[in-house]
Amino acid sequence: QVQLVESGGGSVQPGGSLRLSCTAFGYASGSLRMGWFRQAPGKEREGVAGFDSAGSINYADSVKGRFTISKDNSKNTLYLQMNSLKPEDTAMYYCAATWRYGGMWPPLLRNTYNYWGQGTQVTVSS
């Protein structure tokens, strides 16, 4: 059973930066595909950034140019560098993982993922 542990959330002023981390535990080998989602109060969970089946990065339009997703396979860790943060970025951020590959499993679709972290809160406010 894959377990995902996130860290790095917090409170920051508009224009500030945060870096989220997510480490995957509980599997011996294989190419686990991972991504980031977020959910604001009263809204649906939405995809923020992830890797498609060919390894290309996809970003939500709302974060392009400000957020950067990366991974360190040697540490089984996924990162999300968030710069130029805005109040509308305030949300619970979730790490997600899946063994599914192929065009029918796009990286920003919630149903693509089998495993979810507990979430880490990001608050952007002056």
Reported as a single tens digit per residue, the pLDDT across 23-71 is 999 876 568 899 999 999 999 999 999 999 999 999 999 999 999 999 9
What's residue 30's pLDDT?
65
Identify residue 103 by its one-letter amino acid code: G
What's residue 31's pLDDT?
81
Measured over the CA atoms of residue 81, residue 75, residue 104 and residue 121, the dihedral's sign is: negative
Strand partners, 33: 98
What's residue 35's pLDDT?
97
- Residue entry with tokens 């990286």: 107
What's residue 85's pLDDT?
98
What's residue 12's pLDDT?
98
What's residue 1's pLDDT?
85
Query: Model confidence over 80-113: pLDDT tens digits?
Result: 999 999 999 999 999 999 999 888 999 999 999 9
Buried b / exposed e across 53-90, counting CB within 10 Å, b at 16+? beeeebbbeebeeebebebeeeebbbbbebeebeeebb
DSSP summary character for residue 30 = S
Measured over the CA atoms of residue 69, residue 102, residue 100 and residue 117, the dihedral's sign is: positive
